[in-house]
């Protein structure tokens, strides 16, 4: 089994999502639609790969925690809900229909409602994992760097999920007013903050693994600095969107948030360079 996957079912779920993303990426390359075209294979590609990585990461994090009687239910809920959500998004692509903000007809309305229910089930499971990760002694046996990578990664993932609900609500409100459901104040890109820290759990875990392998003394400080960088970047994305600015349309506040992100990134690098060998255990 792959790391963090306890059964053939879990392996199959992750594999189906990843393969779907890669297949649709290939289909996009040979198609004639632009990347930003909502009816292109963009969403099928991104949701397949992104959700596959997210599911795998959550399952891996779960295996690092002290077991509970709800462990199997949480893992099965994550697998089933995320696979079926991506299936519906992909189905809409092949139907030539928008996968989000599409209330045209009963079928589209039912599909969108089903996606909302499925992602809500997955998010609740993620919240439970996050709660367990932050409980004292929940990650005994993992190195301190891995433990903090899991805690910060799941917390940032949970915040990103909440941001996703927020931008969905804003998008729906925009539609009611006859405005674009994907942009705020004309140029603010609503999907930007949702993805800003969505994959922090992967970058934090990889860095934690590397610092453990290299036995770097400042491994925990490195993870804290990197988590702070992700948080600042998320703050930047939120400000840009709700100030009605494009991703890199800078203002004074934008520059301050961007500078904070860069400084936290530099602190991460400095901590790694000046570290000494050590390997603390939680």
Nearest-angstrom CA–CA distance, 201 and 134 = 14
Q: Which two tokens stand for residue 49?
A: 């790969």
Question: Under a CB-based contact definition with an 8 Å cutoff, are residues 84 and 117 in contact?
Answer: no
Which residues pair with residue 281 across a beta bridge? 143
Q: Give the burial class of 193: count Cβ atoms within 10 A of its Cβ; 0-12 exposed, 13-18 middle, 19 or more buried.
A: buried
Q: How large a percentage of the chain has pLDDT more than 90?
A: 79
Residue-level pLDDT at 280: 52
HSE-up (13 A, CA, CB side) for residue 266 = 6
Q: Buried b vs exposed e over 231-249: b needs ≥16 C-beta within 10 Å?
A: bbbbbbbbbbbbeebeeee
Taking each helix axis from N to C end, the angle separating 144-176 and 219-242, rounded to the nearest 10 degrees, works out to: 10
Q: In a 10 Å sphere around its CB, with 0-12 CB exposed, 13-18 middle and 19+ buried, how is residue 101 labelled?
A: middle
Q: Which two tokens stand for residue 125?
A: 């499971």
pLDDT (0 to 100) of residue 276: 58
- CA–CA separation, 158 vs 230, rounded Å? 13
> Which pLDDT does position 239 carry in this prediction?
97
Q: For position 142, what pLDDT does the model report? A: 86
CA–CA separation, 163 vs 115, rounded Å? 16
pLDDT computed for residue 277 by the predictor: 52
Residue 192 has pLDDT above 90, yes or no: yes
State the pTM of this model.
0.92
DSSP 10-44: HHHHHHHHHHHHHHHHHHHHHS-S-TT-TTSSHHH
What average pLDDT score do residues 204-217 get? 92
Tell me: the pLDDT tens digits for 230-274?
Answer: 999 999 999 999 999 999 999 999 999 999 999 999 999 999 888
Among candidate residues 245, 253, 255, 161, the one with its CA nearest the CA of residue 200? 161
Provide the 3-class DSSP secondary structure of residue 102.
coil
Crossing angle between the packed helical segments 144-176 and 200-213, to the nearest 10 degrees? 170
DSSP one-letter code for 130: H
pLDDT tens track for 132-191? 999 988 887 889 999 999 999 999 999 999 999 999 999 999 998 989 999 999 899 999
Q: Where are the alpha helices (DSSP H) in 177-251?
A: 191-196, 200-213, 219-242
Query: Domain extents for the chain?
Result: 1-138, 142-282
């Amino acid at each position: 089994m792959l790391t963090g996957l306890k059964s053939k079912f879990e392996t199959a779920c992750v594999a189906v999502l990843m393969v779907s993303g890669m297949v649709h990426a290939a289909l996009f390359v040979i198609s004639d639609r632009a990347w930003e075209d909502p009816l292109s294979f963009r969403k099928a590609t991104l949701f397949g790969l992104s959700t596959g990585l997210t599911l795998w990461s959550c399952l891996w994090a779960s295996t690092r925690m002290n077991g509970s009687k709800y462990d199997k239910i949480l893992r099965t809920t994550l697998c089933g809900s995320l696979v079926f959500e991506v299936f519906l998004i992909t189905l809409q692509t092949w139907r030539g229909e928008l996968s989000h903000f599409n209330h045209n007809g009963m079928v589209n309305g039912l599909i969108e409602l089903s996606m909302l229910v499925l992602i809500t089930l997955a998010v609740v499971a993620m919240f439970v994992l996050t709660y367990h990760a932050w409980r004292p002694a929940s990650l005994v046996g993992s190195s301190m760097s891995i433990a903090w990578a899991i805690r910060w990664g799941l917390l940032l993932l949970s915040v990103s999920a909440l941001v996703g609900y927020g931008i969905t609500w804003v998008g729906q409100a925009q539609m009611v007013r006859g405005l674009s459901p994907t942009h705020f104040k004309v140029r603010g890109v609503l999907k930007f903050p949702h993805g800003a820290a969505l994959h922090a759990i992967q970058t934090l875990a990889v860095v934690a693994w590397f610092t453990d392998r290299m036995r770097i003394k400042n491994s925990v400080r490195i993870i804290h600095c990197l988590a702070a960088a992700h948080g600042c970047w998320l703050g930047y994305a939120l400000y840009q969107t709700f100030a009605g600015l494009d991703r890199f349309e800078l203002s004074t506040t934008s520059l301050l948030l961007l500078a904070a992100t860069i400084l936290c990134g530099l602190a991460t690098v400095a901590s790694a360079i000046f570290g000494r060998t050590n390997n603390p255990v939680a």
